[in-house]
Structure 1
Protein backbone atom coordinates (compact mmCIF):
# COMPACT_ATOMS: atom_id res chain seq x y z
CA UNK A 1 0.00 0.00 0.00
CA UNK A 2 1.46 3.38 -0.93
CA UNK A 3 2.12 5.92 1.77
CA UNK A 4 -0.58 8.54 1.82
CA UNK A 5 -0.47 11.53 4.09
CA UNK A 6 -3.85 12.08 5.65
CA UNK A 7 -5.25 14.05 8.57
CA UNK A 8 -7.08 12.75 11.59
CA UNK A 9 -10.25 14.44 10.31
CA UNK A 10 -9.95 12.70 6.92
CA UNK A 11 -9.49 9.35 8.66
CA UNK A 12 -12.58 9.92 10.80
CA UNK A 13 -14.61 11.04 7.79
CA UNK A 14 -13.84 7.74 6.04
CA UNK A 15 -14.19 5.55 9.13
CA UNK A 16 -17.56 6.84 10.37
CA UNK A 17 -19.72 5.45 7.52
CA UNK A 18 -18.06 2.04 7.80
CA UNK A 19 -18.51 1.84 11.56
CA UNK A 20 -22.09 3.08 11.29
CA UNK A 21 -22.94 0.16 9.02
CA UNK A 22 -20.60 -2.58 10.26
CA UNK A 23 -20.47 -1.70 13.94
CA UNK A 24 -17.59 -1.67 16.37
CA UNK A 25 -16.94 -5.41 16.57
CA UNK A 26 -17.07 -5.96 12.81
CA UNK A 27 -14.79 -3.06 11.92
CA UNK A 28 -11.19 -4.16 12.18
CA UNK A 29 -8.35 -1.68 12.03
CA UNK A 30 -7.01 -3.58 9.02
CA UNK A 31 -10.27 -3.08 7.13
CA UNK A 32 -10.56 0.54 8.20
CA UNK A 33 -6.99 1.27 7.13
CA UNK A 34 -7.75 -0.12 3.66
CA UNK A 35 -10.82 2.11 3.38
CA UNK A 36 -8.69 5.09 4.38
CA UNK A 37 -5.87 4.11 2.02
CA UNK A 38 -3.33 4.12 4.84
CA UNK A 39 -1.20 1.61 6.70
CA UNK A 40 -2.77 0.08 9.81
CA UNK A 41 0.08 1.52 11.85
CA UNK A 42 -1.01 5.01 10.76
CA UNK A 43 -4.08 4.69 13.03
CA UNK A 44 -1.73 4.51 15.99
CA UNK A 45 -0.37 7.92 15.05
CA UNK A 46 -3.77 9.38 15.95
CA UNK A 47 -5.31 6.76 18.25
CA UNK A 48 -3.63 4.56 20.87
CA UNK A 49 -6.09 1.73 20.26
CA UNK A 50 -9.41 0.85 18.66
CA UNK A 51 -11.37 1.99 21.71
CA UNK A 52 -9.86 5.45 21.43
CA UNK A 53 -10.76 5.50 17.72
CA UNK A 54 -14.37 4.56 18.49
CA UNK A 55 -14.60 7.21 21.22
CA UNK A 56 -13.32 9.79 18.74
CA UNK A 57 -15.83 8.61 16.11
CA UNK A 58 -18.68 8.98 18.61
CA UNK A 59 -17.43 12.39 19.76
CA UNK A 60 -17.15 13.57 16.15
CA UNK A 61 -20.68 12.44 15.28
CA UNK A 62 -21.98 14.01 18.48
CA UNK A 63 -20.22 17.29 17.75
CA UNK A 64 -21.49 17.38 14.16
CA UNK A 65 -25.06 16.63 15.21
CA UNK A 66 -25.01 19.18 18.05
CA UNK A 67 -23.49 21.90 15.92
CA UNK A 68 -26.11 21.47 13.22
CA UNK A 69 -29.10 20.84 15.52
CA UNK A 70 -28.45 23.83 17.76
CA UNK A 71 -27.56 26.06 14.79
CA UNK A 72 -31.12 25.42 13.61
CA UNK A 73 -32.78 25.71 17.02
CA UNK A 74 -31.02 28.93 18.02
CA UNK A 75 -31.54 30.66 14.66
CA UNK A 76 -34.01 33.40 15.54
CA UNK A 77 -34.50 34.32 11.89
CA UNK A 78 -36.22 30.99 11.19
CA UNK A 79 -39.87 30.33 11.89
CA UNK A 80 -40.76 27.24 13.91
CA UNK A 81 -41.90 25.53 10.71
CA UNK A 82 -38.59 26.33 8.98
CA UNK A 83 -36.67 25.01 11.97
CA UNK A 84 -38.61 21.76 11.78
CA UNK A 85 -37.98 21.45 8.03
CA UNK A 86 -34.24 21.89 8.55
CA UNK A 87 -34.25 19.47 11.49
CA UNK A 88 -36.02 16.87 9.38
CA UNK A 89 -33.38 17.19 6.67
CA UNK A 90 -30.64 16.84 9.29
CA UNK A 91 -32.24 13.71 10.73
CA UNK A 92 -32.70 12.10 7.33
CA UNK A 93 -29.08 12.90 6.48
CA UNK A 94 -27.71 11.46 9.71
CA UNK A 95 -30.14 8.61 10.38
CA UNK A 96 -31.16 7.63 6.84
CA UNK A 97 -31.58 4.05 5.69
CA UNK A 98 -28.53 3.97 3.44
CA UNK A 99 -26.22 5.31 6.14
CA UNK A 100 -26.82 2.47 8.60
CA UNK A 101 -29.05 4.34 11.02
CA UNK A 102 -27.91 5.95 14.26
CA UNK A 103 -24.30 5.15 15.11
CA UNK A 104 -24.93 6.03 18.77
CA UNK A 105 -27.81 3.57 19.13
CA UNK A 106 -25.96 0.96 17.08
CA UNK A 107 -22.88 1.26 19.29
CA UNK A 108 -24.97 1.21 22.46
CA UNK A 109 -26.83 -1.93 21.39
CA UNK A 110 -23.61 -3.63 20.36
CA UNK A 111 -21.38 -2.76 23.30
CA UNK A 112 -23.19 -1.46 26.37
CA UNK A 113 -23.95 -4.88 27.87
CA UNK A 114 -20.40 -6.12 27.31
CA UNK A 115 -18.29 -3.10 28.09
CA UNK A 116 -19.80 0.31 28.85
CA UNK A 117 -16.67 2.14 27.68
CA UNK A 118 -18.67 4.28 25.20
CA UNK A 119 -21.67 4.88 27.47
CA UNK A 120 -20.68 8.42 28.51
CA UNK A 121 -20.42 9.76 24.94
CA UNK A 122 -23.62 7.99 23.90
CA UNK A 123 -25.48 9.41 26.90
CA UNK A 124 -24.25 12.93 26.13
CA UNK A 125 -25.48 12.62 22.54
CA UNK A 126 -28.97 11.59 23.63
CA UNK A 127 -29.09 14.20 26.41
CA UNK A 128 -28.27 16.91 23.88
CA UNK A 129 -30.79 15.51 21.37
CA UNK A 130 -33.49 15.61 24.07
CA UNK A 131 -32.39 19.07 25.24
CA UNK A 132 -32.59 20.49 21.71
CA UNK A 133 -36.10 19.16 21.18
CA UNK A 134 -37.10 20.33 24.64
CA UNK A 135 -36.05 23.89 23.77
CA UNK A 136 -38.36 23.86 20.75
CA UNK A 137 -41.20 22.35 22.73
CA UNK A 138 -40.99 24.97 25.49
CA UNK A 139 -42.57 27.41 23.05
CA UNK A 140 -45.91 25.59 23.48
CA UNK A 141 -45.46 23.46 26.61
CA UNK A 142 -44.31 23.76 30.21
CA UNK A 143 -40.71 22.79 30.97
CA UNK A 144 -41.76 19.44 32.44
CA UNK A 145 -44.15 18.65 29.57
CA UNK A 146 -41.47 19.66 27.08
CA UNK A 147 -38.90 17.35 28.68
CA UNK A 148 -41.31 14.39 28.73
CA UNK A 149 -42.32 14.98 25.12
CA UNK A 150 -38.70 15.42 24.00
CA UNK A 151 -37.75 12.12 25.64
CA UNK A 152 -40.72 10.42 23.93
CA UNK A 153 -39.75 11.91 20.58
CA UNK A 154 -36.16 10.68 20.80
CA UNK A 155 -37.44 7.23 21.77
CA UNK A 156 -39.88 7.32 18.85
CA UNK A 157 -37.26 8.51 16.36
CA UNK A 158 -34.72 5.89 17.48
CA UNK A 159 -37.41 3.20 17.24
CA UNK A 160 -38.28 4.50 13.78
CA UNK A 161 -34.62 4.30 12.78
CA UNK A 162 -34.40 0.73 14.04
CA UNK A 163 -37.54 -0.41 12.22
CA UNK A 164 -36.42 1.41 9.08
CA UNK A 165 -33.21 -0.66 9.19
CA UNK A 166 -35.04 -3.92 9.98
CA UNK A 167 -37.62 -3.55 7.21
CA UNK A 168 -35.57 -1.49 4.72
CA UNK A 169 -38.50 0.88 4.67
CA UNK A 170 -38.13 4.58 5.50
CA UNK A 171 -41.79 4.90 6.49
CA UNK A 172 -40.95 4.16 10.13
CA UNK A 173 -38.51 7.04 10.43
CA UNK A 174 -40.81 9.24 8.33
CA UNK A 175 -43.73 8.49 10.65
CA UNK A 176 -41.68 9.26 13.77
CA UNK A 177 -40.45 12.54 12.29
CA UNK A 178 -44.02 13.47 11.27
CA UNK A 179 -45.23 12.81 14.82
CA UNK A 180 -42.37 14.97 16.12
CA UNK A 181 -43.42 17.79 13.80
CA UNK A 182 -47.07 17.64 14.96
CA UNK A 183 -46.10 17.66 18.62
CA UNK A 184 -43.63 20.55 18.29
CA UNK A 185 -46.07 22.69 16.33
CA UNK A 186 -48.91 21.64 18.64
CA UNK A 187 -51.16 20.88 15.66
Structure 2
Protein backbone atom coordinates (compact mmCIF):
# COMPACT_ATOMS: atom_id res chain seq x y z
CA UNK A 1 0.00 0.00 0.00
CA UNK A 2 1.44 3.41 -0.91
CA UNK A 3 1.90 5.55 2.17
CA UNK A 4 0.49 9.06 1.93
CA UNK A 5 1.03 12.11 4.08
CA UNK A 6 -1.72 12.77 6.59
CA UNK A 7 -2.06 14.86 9.69
CA UNK A 8 -3.55 14.14 13.09
CA UNK A 9 -6.94 15.57 12.12
CA UNK A 10 -7.12 13.34 9.00
CA UNK A 11 -6.66 10.30 11.23
CA UNK A 12 -9.30 11.54 13.70
CA UNK A 13 -11.77 12.11 10.85
CA UNK A 14 -11.27 8.61 9.41
CA UNK A 15 -11.42 7.06 12.88
CA UNK A 16 -14.68 8.89 13.62
CA UNK A 17 -16.25 7.42 10.47
CA UNK A 18 -15.08 3.92 11.33
CA UNK A 19 -16.08 4.12 15.01
CA UNK A 20 -19.49 5.42 13.94
CA UNK A 21 -20.13 2.64 11.42
CA UNK A 22 -18.32 -0.31 13.05
CA UNK A 23 -18.26 0.59 16.72
CA UNK A 24 -15.26 0.96 18.97
CA UNK A 25 -14.44 -2.70 19.57
CA UNK A 26 -14.80 -3.81 15.95
CA UNK A 27 -12.58 -1.03 14.62
CA UNK A 28 -8.88 -1.86 14.62
CA UNK A 29 -5.88 0.40 14.23
CA UNK A 30 -5.20 -1.51 11.01
CA UNK A 31 -8.68 -0.51 9.73
CA UNK A 32 -7.93 3.11 10.55
CA UNK A 33 -4.51 2.90 8.92
CA UNK A 34 -6.04 1.48 5.74
CA UNK A 35 -8.71 4.21 5.68
CA UNK A 36 -5.95 6.83 6.01
CA UNK A 37 -3.64 5.20 3.48
CA UNK A 38 -1.10 4.56 6.23
CA UNK A 39 0.63 1.58 7.68
CA UNK A 40 -0.89 0.70 11.06
CA UNK A 41 2.32 1.58 12.88
CA UNK A 42 2.33 5.11 11.45
CA UNK A 43 -0.74 6.00 13.51
CA UNK A 44 1.30 5.48 16.67
CA UNK A 45 3.35 8.55 15.74
CA UNK A 46 0.21 10.55 16.52
CA UNK A 47 -1.62 8.45 19.13
CA UNK A 48 -0.27 6.14 21.82
CA UNK A 49 -3.20 3.71 21.60
CA UNK A 50 -6.67 3.15 20.20
CA UNK A 51 -8.03 4.55 23.48
CA UNK A 52 -5.95 7.72 23.01
CA UNK A 53 -7.29 8.07 19.46
CA UNK A 54 -10.89 7.54 20.63
CA UNK A 55 -10.47 10.22 23.32
CA UNK A 56 -9.29 12.61 20.61
CA UNK A 57 -12.27 11.70 18.42
CA UNK A 58 -14.63 12.37 21.33
CA UNK A 59 -12.95 15.70 22.11
CA UNK A 60 -13.06 16.85 18.47
CA UNK A 61 -16.68 15.81 18.15
CA UNK A 62 -17.60 17.59 21.38
CA UNK A 63 -15.89 20.77 20.20
CA UNK A 64 -17.66 20.50 16.83
CA UNK A 65 -21.05 20.37 18.56
CA UNK A 66 -20.13 23.31 20.80
CA UNK A 67 -19.09 25.47 17.85
CA UNK A 68 -21.60 24.37 15.19
CA UNK A 69 -24.72 23.24 17.05
CA UNK A 70 -24.98 24.28 20.70
CA UNK A 71 -23.81 27.82 19.92
CA UNK A 72 -27.32 28.73 18.72
CA UNK A 73 -28.65 28.44 22.26
CA UNK A 74 -26.51 31.41 23.28
CA UNK A 75 -27.14 33.67 20.26
CA UNK A 76 -28.72 36.76 21.80
CA UNK A 77 -29.84 37.95 18.35
CA UNK A 78 -32.44 35.17 18.38
CA UNK A 79 -35.54 34.78 20.51
CA UNK A 80 -36.01 31.59 22.51
CA UNK A 81 -38.24 29.89 19.91
CA UNK A 82 -35.71 30.63 17.16
CA UNK A 83 -32.87 29.30 19.31
CA UNK A 84 -34.72 26.06 20.06
CA UNK A 85 -35.81 25.63 16.44
CA UNK A 86 -32.29 26.18 15.07
CA UNK A 87 -30.68 23.96 17.69
CA UNK A 88 -33.17 21.21 16.89
CA UNK A 89 -32.70 21.56 13.14
CA UNK A 90 -28.91 21.37 13.50
CA UNK A 91 -29.21 18.25 15.67
CA UNK A 92 -31.55 16.65 13.13
CA UNK A 93 -29.13 17.49 10.33
CA UNK A 94 -26.16 16.01 12.20
CA UNK A 95 -28.04 12.87 13.24
CA UNK A 96 -29.78 12.31 9.90
CA UNK A 97 -26.70 12.93 7.77
CA UNK A 98 -24.30 10.79 9.75
CA UNK A 99 -21.76 13.39 10.87
CA UNK A 100 -20.96 11.94 14.27
CA UNK A 101 -24.54 10.79 14.49
CA UNK A 102 -25.24 8.78 17.59
CA UNK A 103 -21.52 8.22 18.17
CA UNK A 104 -21.52 9.59 21.70
CA UNK A 105 -24.47 7.45 22.80
CA UNK A 106 -23.21 4.39 20.91
CA UNK A 107 -19.71 4.60 22.38
CA UNK A 108 -21.19 5.21 25.84
CA UNK A 109 -23.30 2.05 25.58
CA UNK A 110 -20.50 -0.03 24.06
CA UNK A 111 -17.68 1.01 26.39
CA UNK A 112 -19.24 2.24 29.65
CA UNK A 113 -18.14 -0.72 31.77
CA UNK A 114 -15.08 -1.63 29.71
CA UNK A 115 -13.29 1.66 28.99
CA UNK A 116 -14.37 3.98 31.81
CA UNK A 117 -12.01 6.78 30.74
CA UNK A 118 -14.44 7.59 27.89
CA UNK A 119 -17.17 8.50 30.39
CA UNK A 120 -15.77 11.96 31.11
CA UNK A 121 -15.74 13.29 27.52
CA UNK A 122 -19.07 11.61 26.74
CA UNK A 123 -20.67 13.00 29.89
CA UNK A 124 -19.18 16.40 29.01
CA UNK A 125 -20.86 16.29 25.60
CA UNK A 126 -24.26 15.50 27.10
CA UNK A 127 -23.74 18.14 29.80
CA UNK A 128 -23.01 20.72 27.06
CA UNK A 129 -26.21 19.73 25.25
CA UNK A 130 -28.32 19.87 28.41
CA UNK A 131 -26.73 23.21 29.36
CA UNK A 132 -27.57 24.68 25.95
CA UNK A 133 -31.19 23.58 26.19
CA UNK A 134 -31.46 24.65 29.83
CA UNK A 135 -30.26 28.11 28.80
CA UNK A 136 -33.14 28.34 26.32
CA UNK A 137 -35.77 26.83 28.62
CA UNK A 138 -34.89 29.24 31.44
CA UNK A 139 -36.56 31.94 29.38
CA UNK A 140 -39.89 30.17 30.02
CA UNK A 141 -39.40 27.92 33.04
CA UNK A 142 -37.93 27.93 36.54
CA UNK A 143 -34.35 26.66 36.82
CA UNK A 144 -35.47 23.20 38.00
CA UNK A 145 -38.13 22.89 35.30
CA UNK A 146 -35.71 24.14 32.62
CA UNK A 147 -33.17 21.47 33.59
CA UNK A 148 -35.87 18.78 33.64
CA UNK A 149 -37.18 19.72 30.17
CA UNK A 150 -33.64 19.99 28.78
CA UNK A 151 -32.83 16.45 29.93
CA UNK A 152 -36.18 15.22 28.64
CA UNK A 153 -35.45 16.81 25.24
CA UNK A 154 -32.03 15.17 24.96
CA UNK A 155 -33.61 11.82 25.82
CA UNK A 156 -36.33 12.37 23.20
CA UNK A 157 -33.80 13.22 20.46
CA UNK A 158 -31.45 10.35 21.38
CA UNK A 159 -34.36 7.90 21.45
CA UNK A 160 -35.65 9.24 18.14
CA UNK A 161 -32.15 8.92 16.63
CA UNK A 162 -32.04 5.27 17.69
CA UNK A 163 -35.48 4.61 16.19
CA UNK A 164 -34.46 6.45 13.01
CA UNK A 165 -31.47 4.12 12.62
CA UNK A 166 -33.49 0.97 13.35
CA UNK A 167 -36.33 1.84 10.98
CA UNK A 168 -34.32 3.97 8.52
CA UNK A 169 -36.91 6.72 8.93
CA UNK A 170 -35.93 10.35 9.57
CA UNK A 171 -39.50 11.11 10.66
CA UNK A 172 -38.71 9.87 14.17
CA UNK A 173 -36.31 12.80 14.59
CA UNK A 174 -38.68 15.26 12.96
CA UNK A 175 -41.56 14.20 15.22
CA UNK A 176 -39.38 14.41 18.34
CA UNK A 177 -38.37 17.95 17.37
CA UNK A 178 -42.01 18.87 16.69
CA UNK A 179 -42.98 17.51 20.11
CA UNK A 180 -40.25 19.54 21.82
CA UNK A 181 -41.20 22.71 19.93
CA UNK A 182 -44.90 22.15 20.65
CA UNK A 183 -44.30 21.77 24.37
CA UNK A 184 -42.14 24.92 24.41
CA UNK A 185 -44.67 26.95 22.42
CA UNK A 186 -47.47 25.78 24.74
CA UNK A 187 -45.47 26.91 27.77
CA UNK A 188 -44.90 30.27 26.06
CA UNK A 189 -48.64 30.73 25.45
CA UNK A 190 -49.49 29.70 29.02
CA UNK A 191 -46.96 32.21 30.34
CA UNK A 192 -48.64 34.97 28.33
CA UNK A 193 -52.07 34.04 29.71
CA UNK A 194 -51.02 34.15 33.36
In the superposition, the TM-score normalised over structure 2's length comes to 0.88
Q: TM-score, normalised by structure 1?
A: 0.91
State the Cα deviation string for residues 55-109 of structure 1 (Å, max 9, x = none): 1111111111012234212222223343233213321232226557310100011
Deviations 1:135-183 (A, max 9, x none): 0000110111000110111111111111111111122222212222223
Q: Partners of 1:100 and 1:167 in 2: how far apart? A: 19
1:128/1:78 CA distance change after superposition, 3 Å: same
Match of 1:124 in 2: 124
- What value does the CA root-mean-square deviation take over the aligned residues? 1.8
1:54 is aligned to: 54
Alignment of 1:6-45 (within 5 A): 6-45=6-45
Alpha-carbon distance between aligned partners in 2 of 1:37 and 1:85, rounded to the nearest angstrom: 40
Q: Deviations over 1:21-68 (max 9, x none)?
A: 211011111111111112211211111000001111111111110122
Contact between 1:97 and 1:170, CA under 8 Å: does it hold in 2?
Answer: no
Q: Tell me which moved more, 7-16 or 50-59.
A: 7-16
Whether the 8 Å contact between 1:130 and 1:150 is mirrored in structure 2 is yes
Higher Cα Rg, which structure:
2
Contact 1:136-1:184 at 8 Å conserved across structures: no
- Measure, in 2, the Cα distance between the counterparts of 1:56 and 1:184: 35
Please tell me whether the aligned partners of residues 58 and 104 of structure 1 are also in contact (alpha carbons under 8 angstroms).
Answer: yes
Contact 1:72 1:87 (8 Å CA) reproduced: yes
1:142 matched to which residue of 2?
142
Segments of 5+ residues of structure 2 without an aligned counterpart are 189-194
